[in-house]
Amino acid sequence: MNVGRTLFSQVMAFVPWTSFDRIVARYGGNVRIRRLHCSEQFRVMAFAQMTYRESLRDIEACLGAQPSKLYGMGLREAVARSTLADANELRDWRIWAGVAAVLIRRARKLYVGDDIGLDLANTVYALDSTTIDLCLSLFPWADFRSTKAAVKMHTLLDLRGPIPSFIHISDGKMGDAVALDLIVPEAGAIYVMDRGYVDFRRLYALHQAGAFFVTRTKINMNYHRVYSHAIDKTTGLRFDQTIALDGFYTRQDYSQHLRRVGFTDPETGKQLVFLTNHFMLPALTVAALYKRRWQVELFFKWIKQNLRIRHFYGTSENAVKTQIWTAVCVYVLAAIVKKELALDVSLYTFLQVLSVHSFEKIPILQAFSDIDPTTATTTLPNQLNLFNT
């Protein structure tokens, strides 16, 4: 007896399918396709992410074991691994990047009122990248080193959520600072990044756009002190200075004064020196902002541990990017469902429950009603800082 939709189908209902169809039409995703339309491919790839499938054979076997449930999942028939492999190989990965962009816009609206723990009206972004190692013999297009292949995932994370607002996937050789050329600076926003992004020409472009940045100084930075501001050293602050750059090229790239803040981390005793163009923030807030950058590291760790981007279903560039972008879609979709239904569980617990009960016809609120929101915290404390309530 049909008592409702499967749990997986209820989650898929949060996908904006009208926008999805427009994106597919833009890239001709369904042109001359008889089997496994783009909507079915997306469902299969999302199912693989949510249920931790390791390979195409694994996906085929898992779906083939539940033939009576496939229609309720939005699939017309069982999926052959060769059909899915061809789809991942040939259909433009930009389809899934476009779907992710739509989901990201929706998620950011839901999380716009979230508090990041600082008394700031500005939007705060953390910019960083992570390297996904690949086998050079299987992925020769992903050139990185003489004996190693890799792709890089450059991410701009809105700390309210946290939700990725920009993602760029490149080969392993692309420098971190180049990502600054790809983002559109938002006036009034604060961009927090490590010292790998210290490129004064690019930082000055942020400054001219009315945006702010917080980063760490490089050891060999050539500068002189213009003015020292009063500080309370009992708070861990060491100095708060206005400086000017002295290097021949750096002075041409960034002609304005900068702010240099020294801080001793009370937990580790490590001495940190920050660089920013924001002169109105309290010095302690500058240090606190840089500490929030850790959220993007947790995002990368969570993605790698909980979604399938270490074992790829195909070896071509298109297949790899398809899998990474569908993983991002699943992450953001889970964040949307959690927020819209006000589920009091971590994102880790959400996906664990979904992986076990995907085929069950149970109301989604009931599936999570008896979950203890603290159960997963004792197991994986680091990654569960994302979306914990």
The answer to whether residue 303 sits within a structural domain is: no
Pick from 120, 119, 36: which is nearest to 85 by CA?
36
Report the alpha-carbon distance of residue 361 to residue 301 in Å, rounded. 32
Q: Which of 34, 47, 16, 18 is nearest to 87 (CA)?
A: 34
Per-residue model confidence (pLDDT) at position 311:
77
Averaged over 109-128, what is the pLDDT?
A: 87
The proportion of the chain whose per-residue pLDDT surpasses 70, expressed as a percent, equals: 94
Rounded-to-integer distance, Cα 294 and Cα 265, Å: 14
Own/partner pairs for 106-112, CB < 8 Å, 24+ apart?
A: 106/16, 106/336, 107/161, 107/163, 107/332, 107/335, 107/336, 107/339, 108/158, 108/160, 108/161, 108/163, 108/165, 110/335, 110/336, 110/339, 110/340, 111/158, 111/160, 111/161, 111/163, 111/335, 111/339, 112/160
pLDDT at 382 over 60: no
How far, rounded to the nearest angstrom, does the alpha carbon of residue 88 sit from its chain's CA centroid?
21
What is the pairing mode between strands 212-216 and 190-193?
Answer: parallel
140 lies in a domain? no
> Tens digit of pLDDT for each residue in 140-182?
888 888 888 899 999 999 988 788 999 999 988 898 999 999 9
Instruction: Return the pLDDT at 33.
Output: 86
Q: Is residue 237 one of the residues assigned to a domain? A: yes
Confidence of residue 375 (pLDDT cuts 50, 70, 90): very low
* Domain-embedded: residue 209: yes
C-alpha of 361 from chain center: 31
Same domain for 335 and 256, yes or no, is no
Are 255 and 334 part of one and the same domain? no
- Whole-model pTM? 0.86
Are 200 and 278 contained in the same domain? yes
- What pLDDT sits at residue 230? 92
Instruction: Return the axis-axis angle of helices 94-110 and 38-50, rounded to nearest 10°.
Output: 60
Regarding whether 263 and 207 lie in a shared domain, the answer is yes
Q: Greater confidence, 293 or 346?
A: 293
Q: What is the per-residue pLDDT across 202-226, written as a single tens digit (0 to 9) for each?
A: 999 999 999 999 999 988 899 999 9
pLDDT, the chain, mean: 87
Q: What is the reported pLDDT for 377?
A: 40
Give the residue, 34 or 94, on which the prediction is more confident. Answer: 94
Q: Alpha helix (H) ranges present in the chain?
A: 7-12, 17-26, 38-50, 56-64, 81-90, 94-110, 200-208, 248-253, 283-292, 294-306, 317-340, 347-357, 364-369
Do 266 and 347 have their domain in common? no
294: exposed, middle or buried (Cβ count in 10 Å: 0-12, 13-18, 19+): middle
Q: Which pLDDT score is estimated for 213?
A: 96
Residue 312 inside a domain? The answer is no
| 67, 184, 226, 362 from 2: Cα distances, Å | 15, 49, 75, 11
The answer to whether residue 373 scores a pLDDT higher than 80 is: no
The pLDDT of residue 191: 96
Tell which phi-psi region holds residue 188, choosing left (phi > 0), alpha (psi between -120 and 50) or beta: left
**Does residue 342 share a domain with residue 274?**
no
Residue 350 pLDDT = 84
* 334 and 278 belong to one structural domain: no
Does residue 347 fall inside a structural domain? yes
How much is the pLDDT for 82? 92
- The separation between CA 314 and the C-alpha centre of its own chain, rounded to angstroms, equals 22
Q: Would you say residue 349 lies in a domain?
A: yes
CB atoms within 10 A of CB 335: 25
* Residue 98 identity: G
Give me the pLDDT at residue 370, please.
62
Question: What Cα–Cα distance (Å) separates residue 151 from each residue in 5, 43, 56?
Answer: 38, 25, 21
What's residue 372's pLDDT? 56
CB-facing half-sphere around the CA of 244: CA atoms within 13 A: 8
Domain count within the chain: 2
pLDDT of 383 above 50: no
Domain-embedded: residue 37: yes
Nearest to 273 by CA among 197, 225, 217: 217
CA atoms within 13 A on the CB side of 109: 6
Residues of the domain holding 244: 195-283
**Residue given tokens 């100084």 in the structure block:** 217
Domain closes at, from 250, 283, 316: 283
Same-domain pairing of 78 and 25: yes
The verdict on 37 and 91 lying in the same domain is yes
Confidence of residue 387 (pLDDT cuts 50, 70, 90): very low
Q: How far is residue 192 from each of residues 25, 47, 243, 374, measured CA to CA in Å?
A: 37, 34, 19, 30
